[in-house]
Structure 1
Amino acid sequence: MAVIASLECARCHHHVSAETPQTLCPLCAGSLYVRYDMDKLRQTAKREDIAARAAASPTSLGMWRYCSVLPDVTPVTLGEGWTPMLHSKRYPGLYIKEEGANPTGTFKARGLGLAVTMARHYGLQHLAVPSAGNAAGALAAYAAAAGIKAHIFMPQDVPFANYVEGIVYGANVTMVDGLISDCARMVAENIKAQREANTPTSEVWFDISTLKEPFRVEGKKTMGYELVEQLGWQYPDAVFYPTGGGVGLIGMWKAFEEMEQLGWVTGKRPKMYALQASGCAPVAKAFEEGKPASEFFQNAATFAAGLRVPKPYGDAIILDIVRQSGGKALAFSDEEILASILDYAKHEGIFLSPEGATATAAYDALIATGDLKPTDKVVLFNTGAGLKYTDMTAEAMHLKRPGTLPKSMPVGGIITPQ
């Protein structure tokens, strides 16, 4: 496993120590990236060792198969990562990365799995997160596995599964009449009040928000390693990624940089597409307007709950990556998202999350305009299992549970007793 050399600010490039828990850059409040001694890693981290190590050791399964480029710690793991890469039945170049196969049913397991691992390493006892839903469920699960207390703040209209997860895993759950931005404010206010009250350090919450600590990016970067390995250590032409907070996109770009430095992959990096819902599209709007950062998106509303992030903390990083890569940031209406859910369920056998359906909607739109060819190699991320959103999707479909059931039910050709 890799020894951390330092933490580097993505904005001003100031370096700080990773010996103690860190949140943001102390100079400019930029997000911190984990940096390793790449000269040493070139000597010790070998691409050909990954599969053999994973086959030989239970602790190197899932995303931990990439332990040679992850922090040197004992994992808190529930089996996250190494999710299926499904080849489309209709488009020869399309691959769907099924992140719904992760623990708690979404890609959030990767980032929170690593963040909680490091929290346990540092001896933290209370973790707090504002969440649009899925990060809350993942934090609750991994905190329970690590013996750490989780404090969750999420909008009251998140998918019901997210609320149930938090309660079942024993987290302290607060439902908020507002958006994730309101939840973030409440977390910050609680931490400030604890410090002003001279609460014992061990009892003060640690904010594990998106891009406000360094290790969620490290967990998410494993998606980049995986997609390249699963394609035979080659880049695809493009990556389509649903973007709320955008940590997955940022993490994959970091993975590409590391793999190139290690000599694990060559060639042109993929075009990166950041996909949003029209009802909350700060990044797509900023991209369209040519701005370096987004503005707070007013009156955010979409049934793609994970995309209701009116002002991502890493918006400038996301926009820079999209532009560097030659990709785009695009937004689609809830009607288009729902249509894509139904289309891919019927024709591909995949129940997409609403977030994942922004990516399929984008892919189909670009195929229709000729911007993409069906033979272009594209990896599209379904960031969560559609079954976590049954209440939201049913509502969008105006679908209700049947009021009455048949008095007798056919089973295997036999009518059961009434």
Structure 2
Amino acid sequence: MPAIASLECSRCHQHVSADLPQTVCPHCAGSLYVRYDLDEVKKNSTRPTPGGLQNMWRYSAVLPDVEPVTLGEGWTPMLRSQRYPQLYVKEEATNPTGAFKARGMSAAVSMARHYGLKKLAAPSAGNAAGALAAYAAAAGIEAHLFMPRDVPFANYLEGVAYGAHVTLVDGLISDCGRMVAERKDAEGWFDISTLKEPFRVEGKKTMGYELVEQLGWEYPDAVFYPTGGGVGLIGMWKAFEEMEALGWVKPGKRPKMIAVQASGCAPVARAYREGAAVSKMFENASTFAAGLRVPKPYGDYIILDVVKESGGTVIDLSDEAILDSLLDWARNEGLLLCPEGAAATAAYDHLIKTGFLKPSDRVVLFNTGSGLKYVDMIAEAMGLKRPAENESPEEKKYPERSPVGGIITPV
């Protein structure tokens, strides 16, 4: 494993030492990137070969020199579509906590233990909280989770079961983040919010290494990524940069990066359409794709830069289109996608129809978590209820879908 050379600000590019735990750039509050001496890595390491570790730490040559807190995260399957020969699904549901968030939390909690931190806190739309609770439990560190009250029930259950301190908030993830920021100093918490510490990106970047390795060390033409906080998209772009510097990837144009949002919470899509450098707070955010309900991503400026540099785009879909795609993939591909993953499949269909992509383009889209973690959300979106005791399933005719009301989206 390489020593960390420094932490570099993504905005002002000043460097900060990694000898002590850091949050954001002390000069401009930009997100920090971990930087290694890649010439030294290239001299002492080669890219992974078949076999070896079957988790994200197979890329230890480009991860911090630390004893990992691992539950077997990463090295998730790349599934070829049954219907679209050039479409692949990176199935992040097989991660230990059922979602891609396990990668970032493995790296972040590993470094927290390395630094001797005792209390970690994070706001979350759901899956990050579950992952933090699991990895903190494995590391013997106290975890404090702040989530909107209407997160999928599985996320609340995870936090409680893993022994974390769980606070449910009447609001959105932005309200949860404010509460962490207001209390962290008095409570002695280290804030590992999205892009407010440098190591969750390091875990998420392994998705980029994996997808390229699983495609024979070649880039696809496009990558679809459901984008709430956007750490995975940002991390993959960092991975591509590192792989090119190391000579690990076959030369060629980097993939178009497609950021996917829900129309009920689409701050980055709106900023992209307006040609803005950053997003504005998205008022009254609402979608049953809970992980996409981030009204103002901290790293919005990085997401927009990556999309533009790659020749990609940002697209948002309605909850109705997302649900239709979720049911289509369940019935025709045998995959119960999470709503965020179904946003990506819906976006793929749309961009094929509009001609932005061709059916012959090799595309990787991310299903960022298991649909089974969202059974309450999906059932409500479908209008599905358990049959009454005196009804048989055959007698009960379930609607295919219905407008989602109540606390998840407006009626």
Q: TM-score, normalised by structure 1?
A: 0.92
SS in 1 for 2:384: coil
**Is residue 2:253 matched to residue 1:268?**
yes
The match for 2:160 is 167
The match for 1:28 is 28
The match for 1:57 is none
Report the Cα distance in structure 2 between the residues aligned to 1:109 and 1:67, rounded to whole angstroms.
16
Q: What letter is aligned with 2:138?
A: A
Q: How does 1:336-375 map to 2 (within 5 A)?
A: 336-375=321-360
Q: How does 1:30-109 map to 2 (within 5 A)?
A: 30-47=30-47, 49-52=48-51, 54=52, 60-109=53-102
SS in 2 for 1:132: coil
SS in 1 for 2:308: helix
SS in 1 for 2:297: coil
Q: Post-superposition shift, 1:371?
A: 2.1
The match for 2:287 is 302
The match for 1:376 is 361
Q: Which of 265, 276, 280 matches 2:265?
A: 280
Report the Cα distance in structure 1 between the residues aligned to 2:206 and 2:390, rounded to whole angstroms.
46
Q: Post-superposition shift, 1:193?
A: 3.2
Q: How does 1:237-248 map to 2 (within 5 A)?
A: 237-248=221-232
**Is residue 2:397 matched to residue 1:388?**
no
Q: Post-superposition shift, 1:192?
A: 3.5
**Is residue 2:220 matched to residue 1:236?**
yes
SS in 2 for 1:103: coil
Q: Post-superposition shift, 1:369?
A: 2.0
Report the Cα distance in structure 2 between the residues aligned to 1:255 and 1:133, rounded to whole angstroms.
25
The match for 1:255 is 239
**Which moved further from structure 2: 246-255 or 1-10?**
1-10
The match for 1:413 is none
The match for 2:5 is 5
**Which moved further from structure 2: 184-193 or 75-84?**
184-193
Number of equivalences: 393
Contact between 1:51 and 1:65, CA under 8 Å: does it hold in 2?
no
Q: What letter is aligned with 1:135?
A: A
Report the Cα distance in structure 2 between the residues aligned to 1:45 and 1:225, rounded to whole angstroms.
15
Q: Post-superposition shift, 1:405?
A: 6.2
Q: What letter is aligned with 1:212?
A: K
Report the Cα distance in structure 2 between the residues aligned to 1:88 and 1:375, rounded to whole angstroms.
13
Q: TM-score, normalised by structure 2?
A: 0.94
Contact between 1:236 and 1:378, CA under 8 Å: does it hold in 2?
yes
* Aligned-residue RMSD, C-alpha: 1.3
Q: Post-superposition shift, 1:149?
A: 0.4
The match for 2:408 is none
**Is residue 2:124 matched to residue 1:131?**
yes
SS in 1 for 2:228: coil
SS in 2 for 1:294: coil
CA deviation vs aligned residue, 1:244-296 (integer Å, no higher than 9, x gap): 00000000000000000000112100000000000000000000111111000
Report the Cα distance in structure 2 between the residues aligned to 1:405 and 1:337, rounded to whole angstroms.
33
Moved >2 Å (runs of 4+)? 49-52
Q: How does 1:115-126 map to 2 (within 5 A)?
A: 115-126=108-119
**Is residue 2:182 matched to residue 1:189?**
yes
Report the Cα distance in structure 2 between the residues aligned to 1:61 and 1:269, rounded to whole angstroms.
25
CA deviation vs aligned residue, 1:21-49 (integer Å, no higher than 9, x gap): 000001000000000001101111201x4
Report the Cα distance in structure 2 between the residues aligned to 1:223 and 1:368, rounded to whole angstroms.
27
Report the Cα distance in structure 1 between the residues aligned to 2:44 and 2:268, rounded to whole angstroms.
39
Q: What letter is aligned with 2:94?
A: A
Answer with 1 or 2: which has the greater Rg.
1
CA deviation vs aligned residue, 1:71-126 (integer Å, no higher than 9, x gap): 11111000000000000011111000000110110000000111000000100010
Q: Is there any run of 5+ residues in structure 1 with no aligned partner, and where? A: 55-59, 195-203, 408-418
**Is residue 2:298 matched to residue 1:313?**
yes
Q: Post-superposition shift, 1:50?
A: 4.0
SS in 2 for 1:236: coil
Contact between 1:281 and 1:310, CA under 8 Å: does it hold in 2?
yes
